[in-house]
Amino acid sequence: MQRPLFSDSAGSGRSSFGRANFGTQKKHRFLYILLICGVMAAGGLGVSLLSAARADKNDSVYQQLGLFGDIFQRVRESYVDEVDDTDLIEAAIKGMLTSLDPHSSYLNADNFNAMKVQTQGRFGGLGIEITMENGMVKVVSPIDDTPAAKAGIQPEDYIIAVDDESIIGMSLSDAVDRLRGKIGSKVTVKVQRAQDEPFDVSLIRDSIKIKSVRYEIFDGIGYVRLTTFSEQTTPGLIDAIDDMFKQQDGNLKGVILDLRNNPGGLLDQAISVSDAFLEKGEIVSTRGRDPEKGNRVYATSGDIARGLPMVVLINSGSASASEIVAGALKDHKRALLLGTRSFGKGSVQSVIPVSNTAAMRLTTARYYTPSGISIQAKGIEPDIEVLMARIETLEGGITREENLKGALDSKEDDEADASDSQPEQKFKQDEIDYQLARALDLIRGVSAFSVLRPNS
């Protein structure tokens, strides 16, 4: 007797149910197979659609390149004057790069060589760092002891004409070419400052020799000014700090690092300057299109300021590398920032050679401070905002008890002795700027509190 596929212990009804369920299972199994095949087909279709989309995109690019070729050929054949092919192609490349952002550009042989010379700390021109904003040439900052600085050019000025010829709408590289010229030659620039009427400034072009580090001691407080970040900056900074310690027999009260109107420069110098004052921690990070390929740079042990109180001066002319240093020292609470908000250039430009003589400067990443804040278009906010101002002594003199006629114990000899006992000041309050004066006061206050601190 053949054994049934399903047992019939509950009668014929139960047996018929078992057969019906078996048929349903076969149906479901068939549907599952169809579903799997459908998924596989959909996957294949997805790949096909993706490939098709890429093909369509490539076709579009080829069409645009074909359009460029057609226009190029039409200009060669029909333009009113004969145009050099190389000039046309170079102009097209410049237009492509400058359309991306104000800092991407094409560097022909002359521009490329000029850039390499500038990073070494010596070049010819007016001594002014500029950028492009809304089709206008904007001053980032003048460089100390250059024609531009001596003529009173200020950060955030706009240069709208050179020798009575408008440069509004001109590319940044072309504007630079107009501003540069033979050493000793005269140039007149028209400046737009805030909402004031435009005015002319005459300058004599000169060979710009950048001394990137200057230093001085004010009442036992070390003051170091960095004018740019060139190959000379970090060695000059270390030498300056060491020399000030020697002059004070190791008894400096603190250090002021002045980054005002410093337009930036070499990234590796910004990192090494930050590292010089930090014992540990992240200095800066860069992130490009692919977030997984970001780069982080960390400090090594050693503080050339020996842990002394620090104040960093910044303003709207502090850009790029200056903002990296200011952001790192602020985030690690190594220094207090005093002044006004910085420029806000937080993008990374890579110089990519495209031939033996030319290169392109391409924005490839953004800078982030150790706390993860982007510098781009935001800048670095100071801990203490102090606007630039001028210190003036109010008229009227000073009256004290000893100045009153017939005052007790008031003698001319005593007054003379009291005057002689005052410590000699190496500077006059009205001969330094207001922001620096406030920074000096801040470090004096910290130094005074450290003396008053009770022994534990």
CB of 119 within 8 A of CB of 230?
yes
In the CATH scheme, what is the code of domain 122-208?
Answer: 2.30.42.10
pLDDT for residue 433 is more than 90? no
Could you report the per-residue pLDDT of 315-328, keeping only the tens digit for each?
Answer: 999 999 999 999 99
Residue 336 has a CB neighbour count (10 Å cut-off) of 18
Roughly what angle, to the nearest 10 degrees, separates helices 85-98 and 12-78?
A: 140
pLDDT for residue 62 is more than 70? yes
Look at 58 and 206; give whichever has higher pLDDT. 206
Rounded Cα distance, 441 and 447, in Å:
10
pLDDT for residue 417 is more than 70? no
pLDDT band for 39, please (50, 70, 90 cuts).
Answer: very low
What is the structure's pLDDT at 38?
45
Query: Active-site residue 246, yes or no?
Result: no
Which residue in 105, 316, 320, 322 is the catalytic one?
A: 320
Could you report the per-residue pLDDT of 389-398, keeping only the tens digit for each?
Answer: 876 777 776 7
pLDDT band for 302, please (50, 70, 90 cuts).
Answer: very high
Break the chain into its structural domains and give their ranges: 122-208, 211-385
Residues with Cβ < 8 Å from 253, sequence gap 6 or more? 219, 220, 221, 308, 309, 443, 444, 447
Which residue in 94, 138, 330, 345 is the catalytic one?
A: 345
Rounded Cα distance, 51 and 71, in Å:
30
Superfamily in which the 211-385 domain is placed by CATH: 2-enoyl-CoA Hydratase; Chain A, domain 1 (3.90.226.10)
Domains 122-208 and 211-385 equal at CATH topology level: no
Query: Active-site residue 51, yes or no?
Result: no
Query: Active-site residue 320, yes or no?
Result: yes
Q: What is the per-residue DSSP string for 260-285?
A: TT---B-HHHHHHHHHHH-SSSEEEE
Residue 317 tokens, joined? 């002319």
What is the structure's pLDDT at 246?
97
What is the structure's pLDDT at 279?
97
Which residue in 144, 316, 331, 342 is the catalytic one?
A: 331
